[in-house]
A and B are shown apart, each in its own frame.
Chain A
Amino acid sequence: MSPLLEVKNLSKNYTHKAHFLPGKQVSALSDISFTLARGEILAIMGETSSGKSTLAKIVAGVETPSSGDIWVNGQRLEKHNYRQRCQVIRMVFQDSDASLNRQLTIGEQLDEPLRFNTDLVATERRRRIREVLQRVGLLAEHAEFFPHMLATGQKQRVAIARAILLEPQIVVADEALAALDPSVRAQIINLLLDLQQDMGISYIFVSHSAEIVKHIADKILVLQHGKIVEFKETAALFDAPTDDYIERLLVTSGHIKQQVDKYAKEQ
């Protein structure tokens, strides 16, 4: 059986505009290939400007690749066929404040993807929205709220609700946990794991937090200067990082843990 997602020889170049001369080419990603199986969590790690956000955006369809293909379920994703892409891949952004429209109620915002991508009538759409809000731990009444009436954690839940509304198979999360408070972050991680269990979603996580990646990811893809340095199972990579760069990324600052452990031993 073909894997859920297959990325083949993907590359992305940006061109600096020059007035008369041909522009200077900058390669953001080159020759990226990887696969993602159903129900798996893939973490993309790398230092700043290593191309991890660009890769996430290309997979989600926010940007178009310069060359290379993306295949989902043995089917090639066409460049501008957003309807096809929306049904299988959705994205959650870092800043839920900026990704929600503050002039529309939550219900209206959640209605949009359904209107554009499905043939459901209004009553069915409303029922779907109610269900999805309850699934992410909000109330059906939250559909009438405007984004500013909600707390940060609740807004991130709405963003996740919007992502799972079309029942996609892959959700791309670009630093979706980085800006959250510790208690909210733990809640959102639990929610994402629950959704994975219930709906069999695969996640692509862009993150720089080694602790979170170690806890939830099945596989890790390490990028440096737009190239893949390593693509491996999480446990194997954490046990034996293959070079200095990877080791530096995977450092988990453990002083609290050390102290608590030491104290437990003394007891």
Chain B
Amino acid sequence: MYLLDIRNLSIEMTSPKGKRVKILDKVNLRVHAGEIHSVVGESGSGKSLLAKAILGFINPRWTVTADRLWWNGKDLLSLTPKQRRQVSGRDMAMIFQNPNSYLDPNSTVGEQLAEAIPAGDVRGTFLRRRVDRRTRVKRLLHRVGVRDHEGIMESYPFELSEGIAQKVSIAMAVAHRPKLLIADEPTTAMESSTRGQIYKLLARLSYLQDMSVLLITQDIGSIIPESQHVTMLYCGQLMESGPKDAILNNPRHPYTDSMIRMSMQRLDDLPHKSRLPTLPGSIPTLEHMPIGCRLGPRCPKARKECVQVPRVSKHEQHSFHCHFPLAEDDS
């Protein structure tokens, strides 16, 4: 059974000009327990919205429809708001891009971490609870790879480097042992060495605690090396989804292919200062979404059939939405 099973999730909103726009258009996503799943999409692709829909932070003016939005076999859409909040509070957690902007600047890291520990976990007398809480905070910090726990607990968020701050926020997120951790571009503004550390930490936590990680990122070049599945989104439509190796070695969708070729890591193969491969045009705004396949106007392989939304093609676990997919490798 899947931990999270989403079928044909659509979110519709009314644009400022009164037009109904689908910001997410029939997206499928399946996450197994303990799996690392990367969602890749450029800005405006609805990747953060997908995370919000899973957690239930949805603006009441938007309409959410789904054939299936199942969490552990339970239908999330049929729950009352209170039950929904309980499920997301107990089983899910989220970390964001800029840790310093959502850690509380007025209290020390130790105090904030102590707050994050679930109340039911510490029992006994007043003093006993205090000591217990402190040792738990210490253990949490060790678990996320912070060695100098004394120093970090006493410091305020502005004193931390971005890597440590992100580790602290991960510690807060995993304090109640969630089953799913949603990481919304956790490393976008970081140096590559810090990014490597954060990714190793996420992979280790996922492995040790059997926690699923849904990593949301802009660039296919910055997915976690350990991730098992990759899903590509563009302008709210699902482009391609499948096991990481299949996506990277044999992309069937032109969008995935060009994203891989544009990835900064492939720059080494090009001569110094040469021009980079790129997609023409720019990402359409909400009011001007093309009909059919939304990649259409920018796609190198587009033909007149592309004004229809393509149907899903499946090859084992690898699925893609394209009228003219790239050739499959024979090997």
Residues of chain A whose beta carbon lies under 8 Å from any beta carbon of chain B: 41, 47-48, 151-154, 178, 181-184, 186-187, 189-190, 193-194, 208-212, 214-216, 234-235, 248-249, 251-257, 259-260, 263, 266-267
Contact = CB atoms under 8 A, between A and B. Distances in A.
Nearest to B162: A48
Contact of A48 (B161, B275, B284): B161
B260 A260 contact: yes
Secondary structure at chain A's binding surface: helix, strand, loop or mixed?
helix
Interface string B268-292: 1110110111110011110000000
Contact of B275 (A184, A190, A212, A248): A190
B282 A193 contact: no
A211 B331 contact: no
B220 interface: yes
B248 A186 contact: no
B331 to A, nearest CB: 7
A266 B248 CA distance: 15
A192 to B, nearest CB: 10
B262 A216 contact: no
Contacts of B273: 41, 193, 215-216
B266 A256 contact: yes
Given A248-B193, A253-B195, A215 B43 contact: no
A87 B179 CA distance: 58
B189 A178 contact: yes
Interface residues of B, number: 44
Interface of B: 42-43, 161-162, 189-193, 195-196, 218-222, 225, 245, 248-249, 258-260, 262-270, 272-273, 275-279, 282-285, 331
Given A152-B43, A252-B192, A252-B265, A184 B272 contact: no
Contacts of B245: 259
B267 A214 contact: yes
Contacts of A208: 190-192
Contacts of A259: 245, 248-249
Rank and list the top 5 A-B pairs by shortest CB-CB distance, nearest first.
A211-B264, A181-B42, A186-B278, A186-B276, A255-B225
Contact of A260 (B193, B249, B270): B249
B155 to A, nearest CB: 15
A153 B283 contact: yes
A253 B196 contact: yes
B158 to A, nearest CB: 11
A251 B278 contact: no
A256 B263 contact: yes
A235 B270 CA distance: 14
B283 A184 contact: yes
A189 B248 contact: no
A212 B267 contact: yes
A47 to B, nearest CB: 7
Contacts of A267: 331
A186 B277 contact: yes
Contacts of B270: 215
- Of A181, A190, A194, A208, the most chain B CB neighbours within 10 A belong to A181
Given A151-B282, A181-B42, A186-B278, A47 B249 contact: no
B184 to A, nearest CB: 15
Contact of B266 (A184, A190, A235, A260): A260
A193 B283 CA distance: 22
B275 A193 contact: yes
Contacts of A212: 264, 267
A182 B267 contact: no
Given A151-B285, A212-B267, A249-B191, A182 B248 contact: no
B192 A182 contact: no
Contacts of A41: 273
